[in-house]
């Protein structure tokens, strides 16, 4: 029996209206953002939120990011301190998520906040994501649109390969420009904590906030992206590897590294970030079709977006 497939929607007014209508019915729609594709559901609807966890096969109910179209919508559900407002003004819309105190009467499903007093909020920059948020007219919960623990999706076909008919529709807007999940920050009076490295590099944030606080409480997982094994392909990965072992799929940082695949043509970290999850998907597929037992990845510089790239690679390589 052929597996049924999700509806494929286009980036036109019809596709956007259909996505909004499905969300209103409580269905799940994979939507493009500039970071990765999100598995979107109505953040006020308990059933829709429960479906998100079920579709991803998430082992437990981690809180989800709430996507909103603008600062007015943020102010309805969360408290914006001065430091939060400064960050919002500098980096929204864009690849940054802020963890903020909830306001009473916020109306979100408790599954979104996992019972916390705070909520993670993001204003995406992708024009199609923004159009869907406006057409839907409410908060959208959206984790990355992949099965839990697997590589995040940066194209519509990644979503379909991973989730199949566990999502009602996929809005296909091509590849995600940033290619890494958002940077998660928790601003407070005593400084700003960095909860997840991501598409907004630390170097861009610290001139505004001062040094970011990164010493998270040991043993306390605040984001699935902080699980030690995450974003994992189906074969073992080795990092900082010389690319001379032909029994492995070899991934270079640049094309000059001479691998089977490369993250960027000439060593541009923005290009490498945008390509990372696509290249991991491709490396995984090559390992399977060519019977290779491992994926070897060349060293990536630990600056700017390189930090988030190395963070994802370390988790993908964790045993």
Region near ligand TXA per CB under 6 A, out of 33-41, 204-212, 233-241, 253-261: 33-41
| Cβ atoms < 10 Å from Cβ of 282 | 15
116 binds, among Mg ion, ligand TXA, none (CB under 5 to 8 A by kind): ligand TXA
Out of Mg ion, ligand TXA, none, what residue 122 binds, judged by CB under 5 to 8 A for its kind, is ligand TXA
Q: Name the minimum Å distance from CB 118 to ligand TXA.
A: 4
Q: In what order do the strands lie in the sheet with 294-297?
A: 237-238, 294-297, 248-254, 261-264
Question: Looking at 28, 184, 283, 316, which residue binds ligand TXA (CB under 6 A)?
Answer: 184
Residue 62 engages ligand TXA in binding (rule: CB under 6 A): yes
Is 119 near ligand TXA (CB under 6 A)?
Answer: yes
Strand pairing report for 29-31 and 38-42: antiparallel
41 binds ligand TXA (CB under 6 A): no
Residue 195's binding partner out of ligand TXA, Mg ion, none, with CB under 5 to 8 Å set by partner kind: ligand TXA
> Using CA atoms, how far apart are residues 304 and 201, in angstroms rounded to an integer?
5
Tell me the HSE value of 301 on the side-chain side, using a 13 A CA sphere.
11
Is residue 133 within 8 A of residue 68, CB to CB? The reply is yes
- Alpha-carbon distance of 131 to 113, in angstroms, equals 24
Q: Which does 155 bind (CB under 5 to 8 A by kind): ligand TXA, Mg ion, none?
A: none
Q: Decide if residue 154 touches Mg ion (CB under 5 A).
A: no
Tokens representing 160 are 């379909």
CB 71 within 8 A of CB 93: no
Q: Count of residues binding Mg ion (CB under 5 A)?
A: 1
Q: Which stretch binds ligand TXA (CB under 6 A): 58-66, 79-87, 164-172, 202-210?
A: 58-66
- 163 contacts ligand TXA (rule: CB under 6 A): no
If the CB atoms of residues 9 and 294 are measured against ligand TXA, the closer one turns out to be 9
254 forms part of the interface with ligand TXA (CB under 6 A): no
Q: Are 43 and 69 in contact, with CB atoms under 8 Å apart?
A: no
Report the nearest approach of ligand TXA to the CB of residue 289 (Å): 29
Question: DSSP state, 226?
Answer: G
Using rule CB under 6 A, residue 144 touches ligand TXA: yes
38 contributes a contact to ligand TXA by CB under 6 A: yes
The Cα-based distances of 179 to 18, 51, 115, 136, 269 in angstroms read: 25, 25, 30, 25, 11
153 binds ligand TXA (CB under 6 A): no
Which of ligand TXA, Mg ion, none binds 35 (CB below 5-8 Å, type-dependent)?
Answer: ligand TXA
Q: Shortest gap between Cβ of 31 and ligand TXA (angstroms)?
A: 8
Q: How far is the CB of 224 from Mg ion (least distance, A)?
A: 6
- Cα–Cα distance measured from residue 35 to residue 39, given in angstroms and rounded to the nearest whole number: 13
Task: Say how far apart CA 104 and CA 200 lie, in whole Å.
Answer: 30
Could you give the residue ranges of the DSSP H alpha helices within 164-268? 202-209
Binding region for ligand TXA (CB under 6 A): 33, 35-36, 38, 62-65, 97, 99, 116, 118-120, 122, 142-144, 181-182, 184, 195, 222-225
């Amino acid at each position: 029996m052929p597996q049924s497939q999700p509806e494929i929607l286009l980036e036109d007014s019809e596709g956007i209206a259909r996505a909004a209508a499905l969300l209103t019915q409580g269905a799940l729609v994979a939507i493009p953002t500039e970071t990765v594709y999100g598995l979107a559901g109505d953040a006020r609807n308990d059933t829709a939120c429960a479906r998100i966890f079920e579709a991803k096969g998430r082992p437990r109910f981690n809180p989800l990011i709430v996507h909103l179209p603008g600062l007015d919508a943020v102010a309805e559900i969360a408290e914006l301190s001065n430091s939060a407002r400064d960050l919002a003004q500098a980096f929204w819309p864009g690849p940054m998520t802020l963890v903020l105190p909830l306001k009473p009467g916020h109306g979100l499903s408790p599954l979104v906040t996992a019972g916390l007093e705070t909520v993670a909020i993001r204003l995406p920059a992708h024009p199609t994501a923004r159009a869907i948020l406006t057409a839907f007219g409410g908060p959208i919960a959206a984790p990355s649109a992949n099965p839990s623990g697997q590589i995040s999706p940066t194209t519509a076909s990644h979503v379909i390969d991973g989730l199949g008919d566990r999502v009602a529709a996929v809005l296909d807007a091509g590849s995600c420009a940033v290619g890494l999940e958002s940077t998660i920050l928790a601003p407070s009076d005593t400084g700003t904590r960095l909860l997840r490295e991501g598409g907004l590099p630390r170097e861009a944030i610290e001139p505004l906030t001062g040094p970011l606080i990164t010493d998270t409480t040991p043993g306390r997982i605040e984001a699935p992206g902080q699980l030690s094994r995450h974003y994992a392909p189906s074969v073992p990965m080795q990092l900082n590897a010389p690319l001379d072992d032909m029994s492995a799929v070899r991934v270079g940082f640049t094309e000059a590294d001479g691998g089977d695949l490369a993250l960027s043509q000439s060593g541009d970290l923005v290009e490498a970030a945008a390509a990372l999850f696509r290249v991991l998907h491709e490396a995984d597929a090559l390992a399977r079709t060519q019977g290779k037992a491992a994926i070897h990845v060349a060293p990536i510089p630990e600056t700017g977006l390189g930090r988030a790239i190395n963070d994802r690679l370390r988790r993908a390589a964790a045993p």
